[in-house]
């Protein structure tokens, strides 16, 4: 998959949204989180800009240097590979080694993942974080513990910091929790007040941790600022 991403990136100059995304990532790094996003541009793009920050991320320079162009796209490629690894591991735990290879084959040769996985965009990043968050929740359901919940919160924050559609994880995770609660109820095992309180406490703690991580990524710029102050 990495070979396909690199080879399909060679000799291809930056496209129009890569210019804007890379520019925002560089401005976020150098001027702080208060810079105008000018569209759906999120802090995850700083990973792409790290590769050219030392040279000022001059777009003409990036276009003229094949190695630098690959370097700024490398973060997106890593997210694509991470997505494939998560899906391979999850399918393996659900369906066994044959299912793991089938899932891996599908994602490695998926045209959409290959197309976006070599661009300076946040599309594959939000996909990787979203799948990671739901996978972590699934792990917690199979074997309850604090670390899957922490991983789920980190991945949820990562998805929201990658693209606005990452916010869909909030109703998705809430719905999964409700489905699990209903399944337990229908099985005849009535939840105790203590177990319900623990579940609510875990959900609230996770939500607060996600909010903390999002604000931390923006260096707490604008934290507690009322929405009425924004244009």
Asked if residue 34 belongs to a domain, the reply is no
Asked if residue 116 belongs to a domain, the reply is no
Residue 184 has pLDDT above 80, yes or no: no
Residue 199 has pLDDT above 90, yes or no: no
- Per-residue pLDDT of 110-151, as tens digits, reads 999 999 999 999 999 999 999 999 999 999 988 888 899 999
- Per-residue pLDDT of 15-25, as tens digits, reads 988 999 999 99
- Per-residue pLDDT of 145-179, as tens digits, reads 889 999 999 999 999 999 999 999 999 999 998 88
pTM of the model: 0.92
- What pLDDT, on the 0 to 100 scale, is given for residue 227? 85
- Per-residue pLDDT of 204-226, as tens digits, reads 999 999 999 999 999 999 899 89
- Per-residue pLDDT of 17-53, as tens digits, reads 899 999 999 999 999 998 888 777 899 999 999 999 9
Count: domains in the chain: 1
Residue 187 has pLDDT above 80, yes or no: no
| Domain membership of residue 141 as a residue range | 122-231
Distance, in Å, from the CA atom of 2 to the CA atom of 82, rounded to the nearest integer, reads 11
Residue 67 has pLDDT above 80, yes or no: yes
Asked if residue 1 belongs to a domain, the reply is no
Asked if residue 81 belongs to a domain, the reply is no
Asked if residue 55 belongs to a domain, the reply is no
Residue 231 has pLDDT above 90, yes or no: no
Asked if residue 202 belongs to a domain, the reply is yes
């Amino acid at each position: 998959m990495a070979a396909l991403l690199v080879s399909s990136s060679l000799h291809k100059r930056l496209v129009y949204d890569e210019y804007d995304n890379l520019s925002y990532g560089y401005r976020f790094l150098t001027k702080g989180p208060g810079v105008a996003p000018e569209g759906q541009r999120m802090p995850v793009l700083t990973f792409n800009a790290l590769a050219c920050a030392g040279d000022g991320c001059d777009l003409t320079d990036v276009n003229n240097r094949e190695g630098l162009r690959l370097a700024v796209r490398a973060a997106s490629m890593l997210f694509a590979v991470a997505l494939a690894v998560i899906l391979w591991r999850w399918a393996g735990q659900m369906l066994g080694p044959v299912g793991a290879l089938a899932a891996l084959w599908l994602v490695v040769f998926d045209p959409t993942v290959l197309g976006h996985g070599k661009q300076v965009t946040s599309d594959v990043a939000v996909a990787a974080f979203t799948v990671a968050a739901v996978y972590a929740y699934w792990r917690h359901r199979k074997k309850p513990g604090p670390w899957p919940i922490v991983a789920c919160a980190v991945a949820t924050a990562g998805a929201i910091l990658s693209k606005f559609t990452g916010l869909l994880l909030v109703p998705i995770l809430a719905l999964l929790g409700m489905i699990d609660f209903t399944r337990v109820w229908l099985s005849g095992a009535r939840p105790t007040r203590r177990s319900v309180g623990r579940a609510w406490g875990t959900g609230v703690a996770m939500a607060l941790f996600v909010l903390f991580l999002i604000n931390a990524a923006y260096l707490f710029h604008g934290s507690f600022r009322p929405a009425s102050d924004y244009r």
